[in-house]
Structure 1
């Protein structure tokens, strides 16, 4: 597998070439329109040169790509708002065809609302400036674009019941957050399961786990600890992580029962918010 940052450059370059040719431009023609040379465009397409935000913004304008290349620079190439150990995961998730997440304490980042994400960031960084917190929140919300793009990756999400009971941000924030999860699940945009308290101790219950699959690269697994993360691509380790995820699926409630529980919890939080 290519190194994650190089893989992001290659993805940027491949998309640039495809969309440029679809629009009927040569490298020289596009270069003139965005005030660089045709060779400069070629270096982007061959992943020789790191994509630059100002050029990407002009490319979006000429190719009418609705900010696609600018977002690529911001969230995959430059990675604002991401810890160094997590930045490669952000790069890879944009290229994944399937993602399986497990979260023991929180709603996974790809589904978080702005208010929920802000509460999480404030709890983790209580002394940071408002500007710093907003940078982190924007970075997290930007990642959600992959679930709205076409084609979106197949997304399977398992949460522990703890994640729907802890009042992150207060009742109103929790009600809106769980409603968002339920809306995505109800529209078939993700498959969600909840591990109930009654399941007792389960494998890897205390640590987040993510599995990612790709069209043209081996699968990966990612797990996280305190101020550190581990991206695994060794086949034996990825196979072991998949078995762990299978165990989590086995003890979780069915998708239908899980959705009903999430919707019920959202209503409980709404009623709680109305009483306050």
Structure 2
């Protein structure tokens, strides 16, 4: 975009916008282009531009690089924590990097064998899961977590930014009555709707599949146009982001093997629709 056509940044809109505006000011004061400022880092000019507009979080390693080039005495590295706290409202601290990353991913491949992934959950299902894991918190605290989780699902409503999302679900998820029958039918129907609208690709790993590459843990494998790939794994009260290239490659190979063990997308969709119909008829599909 030409300098005369660029959009001004409203620093009062949010904490990320405030620091993004300061970043642009410091860069232009040093008479550097976006390309010149990111030179020598692992990030692209588009990535930095989105940080300046408050649309993306600045990673600590990039903040250190920017401070070094602009000679800002550690200012942007110190600001990272404020921006992280502003962005992760309603989410656990360990999830903050993924919360940002999934908005900019080219592809997301997910395996979540014990609950429907957060990106696919309905309001009632999300409430049940959050309340089960945080039984002593107030309704207001639970509601904040639920709203934050539902906000993530808007990812599938933007035609221009939707990543290619591929999820493998274990068959047991289709049979486990986490909610009343009508609630489970709605949750399964949500998945069917996203598949029918070509927002997601879904496969089901049948219970008869036996041993498979992902018998332990969860995984979210993400790729980007302007950053290295990431893997996110999660357990009950912790989550870990992996960016080591060799480990990421190993997770991607395992996910490919998992896909090969699962039912084809068409058969998977039919199984999900059948389970939803049985719940609608108040029958337990197990």
Q: How high is the TM-score relative to the length of structure 2?
A: 0.72
Q: 1:269 to 1:227 in 2, by over 3 A?
A: same
2:185 counterpart of 1:175: yes
- The structure 2 residue matched to 1:211, chosen from 212, 218, 221, is 221
1:75–1:90 Cα contact (<8 Å) kept:
no
Aligned-CA RMSD value = 3.2
| TM alignment of 1:1-276, pairs within 5 A | 42-43=21-22, 45=24, 77-149=86-158, 150-272=160-282
- Partner of 2:154, secondary structure, is helix
2:164–2:200 Cα contact (<8 Å) kept:
yes
- Partner of 2:140, secondary structure, is helix
Structure 1 residue 143 displacement after superposition: 0.8
1:104–1:206 Cα contact (<8 Å) kept:
no
C-alpha distance in 1 between matches for 2:239 and 2:126: 19
- Partner of 2:165, secondary structure, is strand
Gaps of 5+ in 1: 1-17, 49-67
Gaps of 5+ in 2: 28-52, 58-81
- Partner of 2:272, secondary structure, is helix
Q: 1:25 to 1:152 in 2, by over 3 A?
A: closer
Instruction: Provide the residue aligned with 2:35 in structure 1.
Output: none
